[in-house]
Amino acid sequence: MPARAPVATAGRTLRDAISRWGLAPLSGSEPSDAVFRWLVGLRWIAVFGVALVLGVTGPLLGLLPAGSRSALWTVLAGLAFYNTALTLLGQSSGVPWLTHFAGQIVADCLALAAFVHFSGGVENPFLSLFVLHIINANIVLRPRPASALSLVAVALAMAVVIGEGSGWLPHYCLREAEADCIARSLSPWSLGVLGGLGLMLGSSSYIARYLTARLHDSEERLATTVDDLSLEKERLAETRATIELERSRLQAIIDCMGDAVTFSDPEGRLLLSNDRAKELRRGGDDPFGPESLTAVFDSVAQGREAVAQPAFQRGGRSYEATCAVVRDHHEAPLGLVTVTRDITDRLALERHLMHDERMAVVGKIAAAVAHEINNPIGVVSLYAQHALAKLPPGSPIEKHLETIRRNAESCRKITGDLLQLARPRTPEHALVDLRLLCKDVAQSVEPVAAKYGVVVADESRANAAPLWAEGDAGQLRQAVLNLALNAIEASQEGDRVSLRAYETQDRDVTARVVEVSDTGSGIEPDQLAQIFQPFFTTKPAGTGLGLAVADNIVKGHNGRMTVDSEENRGTTFRILLPSAPARAMEGGA
């Protein structure tokens, strides 16, 4: 039953709207107040119209019978007084017999009968105005009272015509010559007028009742349609609210995902996306614009499996998109779902695993080679030293033995690097002053730098406080030494190699940095990703182990190495180490 409340309201609204045009429903117990005002308004029009007619036909034209003028004005005054009372009291007054519509129409019929009687009777053309009251009755009343009022109107018309014709009522002739007055007796013409009037009133009553009934039926059907539309509107509103709720839930779910999710139609128009996708699209040109999405849709529409698209770069990170076509229950394609995932860490892990596998293989080979070669090389070096010790001064073979010894030592260094790369020694934990370490390495490589014509400089400030890090001093010295030697060998005469140690913030933590930079020719961009791989070198006499060993040492200290290089401008290597614990620094101090 509560669902019928909007229906009743819609029905009342429709009936009131129709009533504003002067139409009252046949089924209502009382017509609306609008119809009441309509009838009162029509009556005022009639009052002013009759007053105008009486003023023109009486004093001006002299057509009104002399004995009926006062009676006509009296009837008009009575009608005006009655309508004034209705106007002041309104429909809701406590005098229903005065304001009821049936009573109003009866009063109008009586007034019309009086006007016709005192202004010529059957001769008066306004005798036909009874038709208007018949129509009003059939519009504002139910069929039974409307029929009764139709009979009242017919009876009043007959009373005027027959009463005047039979002499029961006095006849007020409109013409001066009594010979021209045709209503002195019931002539055939009078009876014909009366019959025609009765036929016209009956026909008008029937037609008005028929049209009103049809209008009522149409109103009822329209009200039913409005009620149905109201219910349908409520159902649509509920359905829409449900859809919006489900959409909100879906949006909340996909917004929680770390991957970028989008859904587009076959034309490439974006219909749905989560917060991660919006962030990714704000980062630059959309890698999956409408044209791209349309092309991807066409390429995967024939299959059922998700298809991975080539990885792309955005903001220094790598992304991979997986696309799949969404279909309805008829297998018709609805659109394309694209899931874009950040694979930067995965690629880094894959590279790390590949590096570890490569290092494991290299380690096995290095261990075998070092074991087989190190002992013979040691024997060669030892015997060369013994031979040099026993040679007399100025011996011609001294130079050759020195060459043998020097190359044997070089081979021993290479095998040592191989062993360090294959089986890195666990670093000892002690405090190391990185500024002092840089100064020591700079002094150690000065002879080599002088040979190449390169200037080596320790850029630490004089009397600077120690910069402590926890680690193995020997291993860290070897790592920095390898970087310095590489920088010298990559430089040309007149270039400069600088070493310095400082503190910085790295990934929201404090880190110790050892920086080795040069002003040499730099490293080509396509070689930067390979420089830490074992045996990779661009130098004709290089082994490709120096940077690999240094990288292993730094990783063994829970640090990392970075490199920045620009062709013809130079290269900068940075070793980033964790800050030494406070208690260790206090002990070192």
| Radius of gyration (C-alpha) of the chain in whole angstroms | 58
CB 501 within 8 A of CB 467: yes
| 8-22, 56-70, 173-187, 423-437: least confident range | 8-22
Confidence of residue 15 (pLDDT cuts 50, 70, 90): very low
More confident residue, 321 or 179: 321
What's 458's DSSP letter?
A: E
CATH class of 347-422: mainly alpha
**How many other C-beta atoms lie within 10 A of the C-beta of residue 458?**
18
> What are the pLDDT digits (tens) for 536-572?
676 665 666 777 778 888 888 888 888 998 888 889 9
Q: What angle do CA 305, 258, 265 make, to 5 degrees?
A: 45
CB 277 within 8 A of CB 260: yes
Q: DSSP letter string over 173-205?
A: -SSSSGGG---SS--HHHHHHHHHHHHHHHHHH
Cα distance between residue 243 and residue 245, in whole Å: 5
Of 9-23, 100-114, 411-425, which one has max mean pLDDT? 100-114
According to CATH, what is the number of the domain 430-588? Answer: 3.30.565.10
Evaluate whether the domain defined by 260-342 bears CATH number 3.40.430.10: no
| 92-96, 162-166, 220-224: least confident range | 92-96
Q: Is 316 helix (H, G, I), strand (E, B) or coil?
A: coil
* Burial letters 407-435, b for 16+ CB under 10 A, else e: ebeebbebbebbbbbbebeebeeebbbbb
What's 529's DSSP letter?
A: G
Q: Is 339 helix (H, G, I), strand (E, B) or coil?
A: strand
Cα distance between residue 321 and residue 300, in whole Å: 13
Closest by alpha carbon to 312, among 279, 268, 273, 347? 347
| Three-state secondary structure string covering 467-482 | CEEEECHHHHHHHHHH
Which helix (H) or strand (E) segment holds residue 561: the answer is strand 560-566
Of 3-12, 69-78, 213-222, 239-248, which one has max mean pLDDT? 239-248
Domain ranges of the chain: 2-230, 260-342, 347-422, 430-588
| 284-288, 479-483, 532-536, 560-564: least confident range | 284-288
* Burial letters 171-205, b for 16+ CB under 10 A, else e: bbbbeeeeeebbbeebeeebeebbeebbebbeebb
What are phi and psi for residue 507, nearest 5 degrees? 55, 50
**How many other C-beta atoms lie within 10 A of the C-beta of residue 160?**
27
Cα distance between residue 250 and residue 246, in whole Å: 6
